[in-house]
Amino acid sequence: MRSYLELSNVSIEFTTKSSTFRALDKVNLHVSKGEFISLIGHSGCGKSTVLNIVAGLYQATEGGVILEGKEINAPGPDRAVVFQNHALLPWLTVYQNVELAVAQVFKGKRSPAEIRDWILHNLDLVHMTHALDKYPHEISGGMKQRVGIARGLAMEPKVLLMDEPFGALDALTRAHLQDEVMRIHASLNNTVIMITHDVDEAVLLSDKIVMMTVGPNARIGNILDVKLPRPRDRLAMANDTQYNHYRQEVLKFLYGGHNQQELAA
């Protein structure tokens, strides 16, 4: 069976003044519809590069990405991106930020009233309807990220791409937002690819954890299927042997064995 999203033999080279640098080497990945995938690895291993190629913001040097049978070669709203630093337009309010995306994506397809309802619905999903007319500098980091997620969801993407969405948040806010993302994923069943460097986050949220080796020539080192039943509760998980097993698998990959040798080399 052909998969929903497929990365086949994706490699990318960046040319600097003196040399070419091969960041990714033959990355292969199959994602099914509704799956929650985490990309984990040390910094600089090319996680973001993979995400940017799927988003269409970068072009693979070799290989390609196929989404629902069509090759991707440009950015588009069917692959919405949630950026690490929220990337909200500081001169627009919360509502207007989501509106900018929604109005553009559904231009001519939905009536103004429908567009308005849809914006409010998505802001309601992330519990941000109380701050519609606030500007980004007037709300907290966690709230900005919520708006970023609402903007991503509102584009009705086939795949939602999240680039370390909780990386810049404090631990409590992060936990709270992780729960929200799990809730939204359970109700909408979106296909999600998320970059993270947080092992607990990866195990808690994902169906599959894609572990990448350190770059250059980064590859997918291993793929871990997380078969924990949903809904998952973070308190219950803390003492779950299966959860801890997955956790250790990821830690072993990141801090033991071949990766460590490559880091030293």
The answer to whether residue 76 forms part of the interface with another protein (CB under 8 A) is yes
5 lines the binding site for another protein (CB under 8 A): no
- The nearer residue to another protein, 90 or 229, going by C-beta atoms, is 90
Q: Residues binding another protein: what is the number (CB under 8 A)?
A: 21
C-alpha 226/C-alpha 241 separation (Å) is 13
Is residue 165 within 8 A of residue 149, CB to CB? The reply is yes
Q: Does 168 bind another protein (CB under 8 A)?
A: no
Angle, in degrees to the nearest 10, between helices 94-105 and 141-154: 20
Task: Judge contact between 62 and 146, C-beta under 8 A.
Answer: no
Report if residue 16 touches another protein, rule: CB under 8 A: no
Determine, following the binding rule CB under 8 A, whether residue 55 of this chain makes contact with another protein: yes
* In the complex, minimum distance from the CB of residue 240 to another protein, in angstroms, rounded to a whole number: 37
Nearest-approach distance from CB 168 to another protein, in angstroms: 12
Tokens representing 166? 């909780």
Cα–Cα dist 59/57, whole Å: 7
Among residues 158 and 176, whose Cβ is nearest to another protein? 158
Cα atoms in the Cβ-side hemisphere of radius 13 Å centred on 241: 0
Determine contact, residues 195/51, Cβ cutoff 8 Å.
yes
Contact with another protein (CB under 8 A) among 5, 155, 205, 209: 155
Backbone angles phi, psi at 239, to 5 degrees: -110, 10
Token digits of residue 54:
């799927």
Q: Which stretch binds another protein (CB under 8 A): 35-43, 74-82, 237-245, 248-256?
A: 74-82
Q: Does 100 bind another protein (CB under 8 A)?
A: yes
Residue 125 binds another protein, judged by CB under 8 A: no
Shortest Å, Cβ 222 to another protein: 30
Residues between 79 and 98 that touch another protein (CB under 8 A): 79-81, 83, 85, 87, 89-91
- At closest approach, how far in Å is the CB of 96 from another protein? 10
Q: Is 77 in the site for another protein (CB under 8 A)?
A: yes
Cα–Cα nearest to 51, from 151, 161, 149, 208: 161
Length, in residues, of the chain: 265
- C-alpha torsion sign, points 169, 172, 174, 176: negative
- Which lies closer to another protein via its Cβ, residue 85 or residue 244? 85
Q: Does 75 interact with another protein (rule: CB under 8 A)?
A: yes
* Contact criterion met (CB below 8 Å) for 214 and 262: yes
Residues β-bridged to residue 6? 30, 66
Contact pick of 59, 73, 104, 189 for another protein (by CB under 8 A): 104
The site for another protein (CB under 8 A) is made up of 55-57, 75-77, 79-81, 83, 85, 87, 89-91, 100-101, 104-105, 137, 155
